Amino acid sequence: MKNRIVVTAIVALGMAPLGAWAQLPSVPGFGSKSTGGPDLVASQTGLVTSYVGASKDVLTSQAKMLAALGLKDQAAKAQAESDSLSAGATAGNIKDEEAVQSDESKALSDALKAPVGTLDAESKKTYTQGLVFLAAGLVKYSGMSKDVDAFRSGLSGASLLQTPKLQTGAFIVKSFPGNLQNLTETMKNAVAFAHSHGIEVPPEATAVI
């Protein structure tokens, strides 16, 4: 008797109109995604693209200023990392980039504090170019603030199925505040060095400090 009831119920469900199926409860994390929340994968793609654009400028700025100060090997390493970055960067790529950027930032910071001889005209020109790239990177990085905040907010509501796909964006969000502070400090020090060594400071650089 019980078997007949089960079979009858299955048949009834199979014959039910589509409207009846629509009234069945949904299970979070399965089926079609909700249209009410943010598309975190798309948001992550935009975040990575913006981050890469800013980082390429910062690394190029480091390469130029390091070269101007005679640190050719560090300059080449920074430029190589800038050239290798792409919009499809993963969390691992970005971690590698941040390690290089941090190393070259320290090398630049030390060089700006160390006594230097008189720079020739070509070195001064290269240094000024570095300031232009650093300003561009800082502007781009600062412009990411709203997207970073939105992605951070979205992450708090991400499902367990989504989270593993959002590691690159999560890494950017985590490192963003410290990176922005470091870039701002580097710009101030780089501009101060230029002023004290007779190097032209472009208006782009003074506009961001």
The pLDDT of residue 11 is 37
pLDDT digits (tens, 9 = 90+) for 178-193: 999 999 999 999 999 9
CA neighbours closer than 13 Å in the CB half-sphere of residue 60: 20
**Would you list the domain boundaries of the chain?**
39-206
pLDDT digits (tens, 9 = 90+) for 81-119: 999 988 888 889 999 999 999 999 999 999 999 888 889
- The angle subtended at Cα 57 by Cα 51 and Cα 61, nearest 5°, is 140
Q: What does the block give as tokens for 40? A: 């975190």
Q: What is d(CA 107, CA 17) in angstroms, rounded to the nearest whole number?
A: 70
The pLDDT of residue 38 is 62
Ranges of the chain with pLDDT below 70: 1-38
Query: Is the pTM higher than 0.85?
Result: no
